[in-house]
Amino acid sequence: MSIALVHSGLTPRRRTLRRATIIGATTAASVLLFATPALAHITVTPDSVPAGSAAVLTLHVPNEEAHASTVKVDVQIPTDHPIAQLLVEPVPGWSVAVRTVTLAKPITTDDGSFSQAVSEVTWSGGQILPGQFQNFAISADPMPTGVSQLALKAIQTYSNGDVVRWIDLPEPGQPAPDHPAPAVTLTTARSPAGAGHAAAATPAHSGTDAVALSLALAGLLVAVLAGLLALTAVRQARRLTAGIGTPAGTATANDRRAAANGQASDRLVAAAASAARRDQEPVATKPSPRRDQAPANKKSSGRRPQSRRRG
């Protein structure tokens, strides 16, 4: 037995690891295989809109078959709470067919009165290949009122003849259905008249929100004022600290510089004023001395007068 193990190159430990790997891979593949249908539901977005509002609903249709293509998608539109105006967005490569019904009671909106409503939309002629998906969009104006949910039951047809009906609705207290119908939750119902363009109803807590917003703004204003006051106080404290640190009777360098500049400016102003006064005063003229009159300040000659002899 030991020789056989050595010859095959596998020890008991390696055999155990190999078996565990094979079993794990098989289990993972089985889980993915059974989980694929759950991930391939037809869904609609958005999943929640206000009742009575206009909305664009997009159906997300994946292909859950491995060897067949989706060739037809049929969506049923409820008429117990009909949609007045339902438009279909064209999809390249697909043709669309719309079925309407006559309403027992016309729908009145701001756009007028409507006696017919769309009950079914069918896309066909195209292909959704395995591993791919396709989006189909419709415009609803207005969304139904008086109900909490709009269920869009869909039927998906494959090229191999398989048909999957996404028409099941969830039941309270029951597990989620295997083929749930795409559904949109309707919130904040509004009156049918003018519902397509009227404003949404005001929530009951809007007053509280307004008060909270006012208080928040007031608090923000108080905080800003407090910050400005604190900044002013800090600047004032810095000035006082700078003044206390200077010895009594001694000016700071800035003060001395300012004083010197002030004195220089005063001297310049005084000099300019003095020059102006001198320019305004008349010039005094001195009389020229007479020729026959000697100058008063002329010095006498150095000769001494001779004394007369007495007889």
Residues 185-227: pLDDT tens digits?
Answer: 999 855 444 444 444 444 444 444 555 566 667 777 767 777 7
CA distances from 263 to 133, 257, 266, 301 (A): 91, 10, 5, 56
The predicted pLDDT at position 230 comes to: 73
pLDDT at 175: 92
Count other C-beta atoms under 10 Å from residue 157's C-beta: 17
pLDDT at 249: 47
Q: Show the tokens assigned to 277.
A: 């006064």
Instruction: Please list the rounded mean pLDDT of every run of 10 residues in the chain (311 residues).
Output: 46 54 48 45 95 96 96 96 95 97 91 94 97 97 93 97 95 92 85 43 44 66 73 70 53 58 61 65 54 50 52 44
pLDDT of residue 13: 54
Which CATH superfamily includes the segment(s) 41-187? Uncharacterised protein YcnI-like PF07987, DUF1775 (2.60.40.2230)
137 φ/ψ angles, rounded to the nearest 5 degrees? -115, 145
pLDDT confidence of residue 109: 86
pTM above 0.85, yes or no: no
Count CB-CB contacts under 10 A for residue 251: 12
Q: How many whole angstroms separate alpha carbon 80 and alpha carbon 101?
A: 11
pLDDT at 232: 74
Each residue's pLDDT tens digit, 127-148: 999 999 999 999 999 999 999 9
- What is residue 35's predicted lDDT score, i.e. its pLDDT? 40
**CA–CA separation, 94 vs 80, rounded Å?**
29
One-letter-per-residue 3-state SS of the chain: CHHHHHHHCCCHHHHHHHHHHHHHHHHHHHHHHHHHHHHCCCEEECCEEECCCCEEEEEEEECCCCCCCEEEEEEECCCCCCCCEEEECCCCCCEEEEEEEEEEEEEEECCEEEEEEEEEEEEEEEEECCCCEEEEEEEEECCCCCCCEEECCEEEEECCCCEEEECECCCCCCCCCCCECCEEEEECCCCCCCCCCCCCCCCCCHHHHHHHHHHHHHHHHHHHHHHHHHHHHHHHHHHHHHHHCCCCCCCCHHHHHHHHHHHHHHHHHHHHHHHHHHHHCCCCCCCCCCCCCCCCCCCCCCCCCCCCCCC
Query: Distances from the Cα of 35 to the Cαs of 21, 59, 74, 165, 311, in angstroms?
Result: 21, 21, 25, 18, 176
Residue 3 pLDDT: 43
Residue ranges per structural domain of the chain: 9-37, 41-187
63 within 8 A of 133, measured Cβ to Cβ: yes
Contact 223, 236 (CB under 8 A): no
